[in-house]
Amino acid sequence: MLKRDDGSDKESPMPPNLPPSLPSLDDIDAALAAIDDELAHIAALLDAPADTEVTCHPHHHWWTAGGLAIACGLGSPDMLAAAGLLARPWPAFCAHLAEAGEDECLLQRFPAAIARDRAALEEAGAALLHDHGLLIGTELPPRWRAAPKFGLGAPFVAFGFDAADRDAWDGIWALPLSDLAALGTAFADSAVVPAAGMVLATLVARHRVELGARGAHARHRRAAVAYRDDCARFAAWRVDHPDHPWPSRLVNARQGHLARTTAAALGLPMPALVRRGDAAVWLDAHDANLRFTKED
């Protein structure tokens, strides 16, 4: 409650719609620092001569690797432990994954592997990040709390992850564990066994084409499963909410884009769709999304 400005002892209610908690100053500073970095990069691109070769933002590699990690179930609390898992000697890394379940994507086994030995993995991860100069003293950079993809992507980039090899990294995670272990046999038998992250980066570089094809297919399969799951959830929601006004609302941008690409793929004129319900009926009748409903 707030004291009134008229000098009375009555109290005024708190203003409505205030959030229950506000971000900390560290979180705000981290977010502002990330924005400043992006603005500085954009300014540098705008100031560059016209014939200057433009490469991707240096943070793009971190962002891409971290995005893949998040898609496979890792989160902010796993930054140190994920780094520690990549720092494990190759045979120990393979053993960790073997004990962590039977997920088809090996990166999806990371959360279970971390849960089995979190404290030790966090200690190893802190040492790895410290050796690469990625910690502030002994702490994770505050900006990683605001953008956890940086922290999750950091150890992958430290071992050589390049965003251009995203498909190949997807491909190496899609290998059966026995095949992955076999590819790394020479490393396991060497006098000095390298860290798992180094082995993975080396294998990606050696088998980029084959792994890239496997990775593109694996990512398509994951996207197809996610799309079908989303469709099933939405269908169930519509059954549970028969009186919801959703069908009478104006077509949204995603429906419009999907209708346009579907019509173009089928050689049909663009339908005149106004309401979301009509768009949903048309899209269902034409097997959209064709990316996932057509046979490969």
Digit-coded pLDDT (tens) for 134-156: 999 889 999 888 889 989 999 99
Residue 161 lies in a domain: yes
pLDDT score, position 175: 92
% of the chain exceeding 70 in pLDDT: 86
Residues 192 and 68 in one domain: yes
Residue 98 lies in a domain: yes
Residue 51 lies in a domain: no
Q: Domain end: 176, 201, 217, which one?
A: 217
Residues 280 and 189 in one domain: no
Residues 83 and 162 in one domain: yes
pLDDT score, position 2: 45
252-294: per-residue pLDDT in tens? 999 999 999 999 999 999 999 999 999 999 999 999 899 887 6
Q: Which of 91, 100, 89 is nearest to 198 (CA)?
A: 89
pLDDT score, position 6: 53
State the average pLDDT over residues 56-83: 90
95-114: per-residue pLDDT in tens? 999 999 888 889 999 999 99
- In degrees rounded to 5, what are phi and psi of residue 250? -65, 145
Whether residue 21 has pLDDT greater than 60: yes
Instruction: Give the dihedral of Cα atoms 30, 34, 37, 43; nearest 10 deg.
Output: -130
Residues 249 and 190 in one domain: no
Residues 186 and 109 in one domain: yes
Give the pTM. Answer: 0.71
155-175: per-residue pLDDT in tens? 999 999 999 999 999 999 999
Whether residue 5 has pLDDT greater than 70: no
Residue 274 lies in a domain: yes
Residue 226 lies in a domain: no
| Count of C-beta atoms within a 10 Å radius of residue 88 | 24
pLDDT band at 42 (very low <50, low <70, confident <90, very high): confident
Spatial neighbors of 91 by CB under 8 A, at least 6 apart, are 188, 193
Residues 71 and 204 in one domain: yes
Residues 158 and 205 in one domain: yes
**How far does the chain reach from its first CA to its final CA, in angstroms?**
62
| Count of C-beta atoms within a 10 Å radius of residue 65 | 26
What residue numbers bound the domain in which 251 lies? Answer: 245-293
pLDDT score, position 34: 75
Q: Residue for token digits 């346009």?
A: 260
Residue 122 lies in a domain: yes
**Burial environment of residue 261 by CB neighbours within 10 A (0 to 12, 13 to 18, 19 or more):** middle
DSSP code, position 15: P
pLDDT score, position 65: 93
Residues 175 and 268 in one domain: no
Residues 126 and 258 in one domain: no
State the average pLDDT over residues 223-228: 88
DSSP code, position 77: G
pLDDT score, position 90: 94
pLDDT score, position 32: 78
Of 84-88, 143-147, 181-185, 235-239, least confident by mean pLDDT is: 143-147
Residues 69 and 192 in one domain: yes
* Averaged confidence pLDDT in the chain: 86
Residue 162 lies in a domain: yes
Residue 15 lies in a domain: no
Residues 159 and 289 in one domain: no
Residues 72 and 213 in one domain: yes
Amino acid identity of residue 29, one-letter, is D
Number of structural domains (the chain) is 2
Q: Domain end: 169, 202, 217, which one?
A: 217
